[in-house]
Homo-oligomer: A and B are copies of this chain.
Amino acid sequence: MICNSGSALAAAVSEAGGLGLIGAGSMRPDLFREQIRKARILTGRKFGVNIPLLYPHSPECVEIALAEGVKIFFTSAGSPRKVIGPLKDSGCVVVHVVASPALAVKCRDAGCDAVVCEGFEAGGHNGREEITTMVLVPECVAAVDIPVIAAGGIATGSQMAAALALGAEGVQIGSRFAVSLESSGHVAFKQAVVDAGPGDTRLVLKAHVPVRLLKNAFRDRITALESGGATREALVAELGTGRARLGMLEGDLDEGELEIGQVSGLINDIPAVSEIMDRLLTGYEETVRKLHSTN
């Protein structure tokens, strides 16, 4: 069970028996280093990092994490070939996030130890393929012999059991842990997710960088531009910069980008990470027991 976040949440997930990941996201390298050091103070357990490879400072983030002694690297949004050499030379585990079985094959060929299959229902940045977890996981399991970790649409023990039934060897959970006491998200953002109903998230900006967002004034404008046939340039101009920070960390529910998964319709409270983990494991075991007893 893997979760992607800032130091407090990553450490809490590792303390609770999962694998916390510090997400570099668009973080400046100095802040990223500080987050790794903070997590090390907060937990003696293993944690990893997730580094999107599309930013100019991504290579620097990889170097920093290596220098800080991180041994588990999740990479996304780019080719793992760019960075895998020095990581494997240093004995690191390298896992890349994919949205298609074709990319899973490329990752295996590049030497990745595992892939995260992220389905259409996942929150935030996403692939263009629109393949859902139900279909993507078995497609990737059939395509590669390295472990497949399922992501997208997983917030409960039943969904975890479903992902493992599909052939995944583990799950990556974003939205559920993002709405926890330990998450660094703004409380207004967490509450907005709790209040969200089914169907309130949509994948938008497909012509630019596809991203799943909760409904708000900003997303409505993007949707209107898209259905009016706006150019990529017009969309990028409307997007501007810093909207994710504005929405999720500063709590501007109207003008910020509110990145969250479709599973937000099933998230109804803001508990501690340890409580979430208990529910996941209990729900998983109950589901498997029930399936077995009715087989």
Give chain B residues whose Cβ lies under 8 Å from the Cβ of A153. Answer: 132, 134-135
Whole-angstrom CA separation of A133 from B133 in the bound complex: 9
Residues of chain B lying within 8 A (CB to CB) of residue A285: 295
Given contacts A139-B266, A228-B229, 18 further A-B pairs with CB under 8 A are A120-B132, A129-B199, A130-B262, A131-B265, A132-B133, A134-B134, A134-B152, A134-B162, A135-B263, A136-B198, A138-B156, A159-B165, A162-B163, A162-B165, A162-B166, A285-B295, A288-B291, A289-B295
Query: Which residues of chain B are within 8 angstroms of A131 by Cβ–Cβ distance?
Result: 121, 198-199, 262, 265
For chain A, the count of residues having a C-beta within 8 Å of the partner chain is 51
Instruction: Flag if B142 contacts A266 (CB, 8 Å).
Output: yes
Chain B neighbourhood of A203, CB < 8 A: 130
The answer on a CB contact under 8 Å between A121 and B129 is no
Residues of B contacting A82 with CB < 8 Å? none
Chain A positions near chain B (C-beta within 8 angstroms): 100-102, 119-121, 129-136, 138-139, 142, 152-154, 156, 158-159, 161-167, 198-199, 202-203, 207, 227-230, 262-263, 265-266, 284-285, 287-289, 291-292, 295
B167 touches A158 (CB 8 A): yes
**Which residues on the B side are within 8 Å of A202 (C-beta)?**
130
User: CA A295 – CA B263 in complex, angstroms?
Assistant: 24
